[in-house]
Chains A and B, each alone.
Chain A
Amino acid sequence: MSVLLRHGKVTLALHGLRANAPGRALLLLHGRGLRSPATVPNRVAGWAGPIWALDFTGHGASSVPFGGGYSVELLMADADAALARLGSVTLVGNGLGAYVALLLAGARPQQVHGAVLCDGPGLAGGGPRPVTPSVVRPVEKLEQAPDPFALFELARDVRPPDYATSFVRQASQLSQLDRPISVCAIERPDWLAAVVEEPGAVVTTLAEALSHYAT
């Protein structure tokens, strides 16, 4: 089953890959340019509770707005719209979705019961500092997912390490968890290299992380 959520002027598609199981939900956040999987991926099949996946704005079955203007903070609010629907969740993010999962774990420390950060497209973002400014206007067809504006704007967002770590610290201080962030990614852009040095983050495997947050 899928449900449609309203986030401002955007309609988000939230997919229940295993909607009716009891317990805390696992929420999957996809990488840049991708969409939610159609069925429960093997790598998270061991999760006992419900499993949901969100299509970010301009991706998958979510609506494609006019004129671009994407930011990772906006995607965090997309994920927060899913949180409003699902209550407490454990997040598994890939690539871009991993960074969004980190932000939401810091911003909603009471509702996010662990964020698992995995490899995937868009993990590095635009790097730790601004690059040479440019104005890019897509030549691809607009109004279809993935939105070409999303593809290039979400490859440029600046991710300073100390900005990323402030979200880990918030999650640590304000959640009830001793390790709110689990890092499974092999790739280590600067922001993630800083995150793994924080006391609230551990480097582990996806299976171990899911097992840890299941309780």
Chain B
Amino acid sequence: MSESAVAADPEVVAYPGAQAPARRRFVDSGGLRIAVHEWGDEQAPPLLLAHGGFDFARTYDVFAPLLAAGGFRVVSWDQRGHGDSEHAALYTWDADVRDALNVLDSVCNEAIPVIGHSKGGSLLTHLADACPHRVSKLVNIDGLPSRARHPDVSEHERSRLLAKELADWLDHRRIVATAKRKPGTMADLARRRGRMNPRLSYEWLLYLVAAGAQHDADGWRWKLDPSMRFGGFGPWRPEWTLLRLPGLPVPMLGFLASVSEPMGWDTTEEILRPHLPPDAEIHTLPETGHFIHIERPHEVAERVLRFLA
């Protein structure tokens, strides 16, 4: 596809196998408007699908229809500040989990299967632990914890490293009220995203721009809240998340990437093995990066549908 054709008419952006959601609605989460997207028969058994950080529900436009074709009502949502959901004043892990539960409540009050990628997988693992009566099975796509730490540095250097992170973050907070995402052509946005998603095709990234960006007078911008940024700091330890796994009260299927990339978590079966609950299956897919369900949508969907059967 030529870039000029796309710039002239974004409606022509298509991708093999991609289907826009069949339904879209909004859920109120403590006064915040959360956009919910659904694929498949509304009367079919539901499942919940959570996207990763800095993504949005429509990054599942290929994967979700495969699950819907397998007989499910697939319900996903844009996390606060992402996609078509409202930009919040405040963002925390607990708030994201609460939003997830509010979306789940809008579907049914039973336990249903939940599937999440990256941060979404970790959120739903937390939800399964916090509300085990609402989750029947858990699929975690490369969102299982690792023990990744900062490079080993001396105490003095560590202090200076943290100081820079803190100062950078506070400086960012000082300007965030007026921050705007950088505008560009659709091709610009696709190429920029490609830096963090080096294994995904340009055509797919362009499709994501059409689904997840808006066209302002001065160009295209991702809908993502500009107050969000990579990195950060805080008291949380990766091993605390690992400790959630042994007592996980539902069957779990975990997928792991085998190729390291910028957005990946670099978790391995070796790290996980001592922490896995009895019913867990872990599938490490060869020659696959962090976006496992985008690189291998059919294979992942088949394995998920088998696990849910």
Q: How many angstroms between the C-alpha atoms of A142 and B29 in the bound complex?
A: 12
Q: Which residues of A contact B90 (CB under 8 A)?
A: 57, 65, 67-71, 74
> CA A8 – CA B92 in complex, angstroms?
15
Once A107-B167, A134-B130, A135-B98 are accepted as A-B contacts, the answer to whether A65 and B89 lie under 8 Å apart by CB is yes
Chain A residues, CB < 8 A from B88 = 9, 65-67, 69
CB contact list, A147-191 vs B, under 8 A = 149, 153, 156-160, 163, 166, 169-170, 173-174
Measured in the bound complex, the distance between the Cα atoms of B97 and A165 in whole Å is 29
B126 proximity list for chain A (CB < 8 A): 133
Q: Does A77 contact B (CB under 8 A)?
A: yes
A206 at the interface (CB under 8 A from B): no
Pick the most buried of A68, A109, A157: most chain B CB atoms within 10 A of its CB: A68
User: In the assembled complex, which residues on chain A have CB atoms less than 8 Å from the CB atom of B201?
Assistant: none
Those of A57-99 within 8 Å (CB) of chain B: 57, 65-71, 73-74, 76-77, 80-81, 84
Find B159's partner among A10, A137, A170 (CB 8 Å cutoff): A170
Contact A81 B92 (CB under 8 A): no
B49 to chain A minimum Cβ distance, whole angstroms, is 19
B170 touches A77 (CB 8 A): yes
In the bound complex, residues from chain B placing their C-beta under 8 Å from that of A173 are 156, 159-160
Whether B240 contacts A130 by the Cβ 8 Å rule is yes
A18 within 8 A of B: no
Task: Give the distance to chain B from A45, nearest Cβ to Cβ, in Å.
Answer: 30
Identify the interface centre among A69, A76, A106, A134: most chain B CB within 10 Å of its CB: A69
Nearest B-chain residue to A79, judged by Cβ: B170
Of the candidates A68, A81, A130, A133, which one forms a contact with B30 in the assembled complex, judged by CB atoms under 8 Å apart?
Answer: A68
**Is the contact region of chain B dominated by helix, strand, or loop, or is it mixed?**
helix
CA distance A159 to B158 in the complex (A): 19
Chain A residues with CB under 8 A of B156: 173
Does B163 sit at the interface, judged by CB under 8 A?
A: yes
A107 and B89 in contact, given A137-B98, A159-B235, A169-B155 (Cβ under 8 angstroms):
no
B contact residues around A108 at 8 Å (CB): 167, 170
Task: Say yes or no: B177 contacts A7, CB within 8 Å.
Answer: yes
Is A212 an interface residue when CB atoms closer than 8 A count as contact? no
A76 CA / B234 CA spacing, docked (Å): 12
Inter-chain contacts of A133 with B (CB < 8 A): 97, 126, 129-130, 244
Contact B234 A73, beta carbon cutoff 8 Å: yes
Confirm or deny: A208 has a beta carbon within 8 angstroms of a beta carbon on chain B.
no
Docked complex Cα distance between A157 and B89 (Å): 18
Q: CA separation between A163 and B235, bound complex, in Å?
A: 6
Is B236's beta carbon under 8 Å from chain A? yes
Specify which of A68, A81, A135, A159 is in contact with B174 (CB 8 Å cutoff): A81
A-contact 0/1 string along B165-183, CB 8 Å cutoff? 0110110011011000000
Does B99 sit at the interface, judged by CB under 8 A?
yes
Q: Which residue of A lies closest to B171 (CB)?
A: A80
Cα A9 to Cα B87 with chains together (Å): 9
Known contacts A80-B174, A169-B159; is A69 also within 8 Å of B167 by CB?
Answer: no
Let me know if B162 is at the binding interface, CB within 8 A: yes
B131 at the interface (CB under 8 A from A): yes
- Among B31, B160, B234, B244, the residue within 8 A (CB) of A67 is B31
| Contact between chains at A77 and B98 (CB < 8 Å) | no
Q: Tell me if B15 is interfacial: C-beta within 8 Å of chain A.
A: no
Q: Which one of A80, A136, A142, A174 contacts B170 once the chains associate, using CB atoms below 8 Å?
A: A80
Report chain A residues within 8 Å CB of B304: none
The verdict on A143 contacting chain B, using a C-beta distance below 8 Å, is: yes
Answer yes or no: B95 CB below 8 A from chain A CBs: yes
- Name the A residues within 8 Å of B173 (CB-CB): 7-8, 77, 80-81
New A-B contacts (16) at CB < 8 Å, excluding given A129-B240, A173-B156, A174-B160: A7-B177, A8-B176, A10-B89, A67-B29, A68-B95, A68-B98, A71-B92, A80-B170, A81-B173, A106-B166, A107-B167, A133-B244, A134-B130, A135-B130, A157-B235, A174-B163
16 A-B pairs whose Cβ atoms sit less than 8 Å apart in the complex: A66-B31, A67-B30, A67-B31, A67-B90, A73-B233, A74-B90, A77-B169, A77-B170, A77-B173, A137-B102, A157-B235, A158-B235, A159-B235, A163-B235, A166-B158, A166-B159
Which A residues are within 8 Å of any B CB, using their own CB? 6-10, 57, 65-71, 73-74, 76-77, 80-81, 84, 106-109, 129-130, 133-138, 142-143, 149, 153, 156-160, 163, 166, 169-170, 173-174
Interfacial residues, chain B to chain A (CB-CB below 8 A): 29-32, 80, 86-92, 94-95, 97-99, 101-102, 126-127, 129-131, 155-156, 158-160, 162-163, 166-167, 169-170, 173-174, 176-177, 227, 233-237, 240, 244
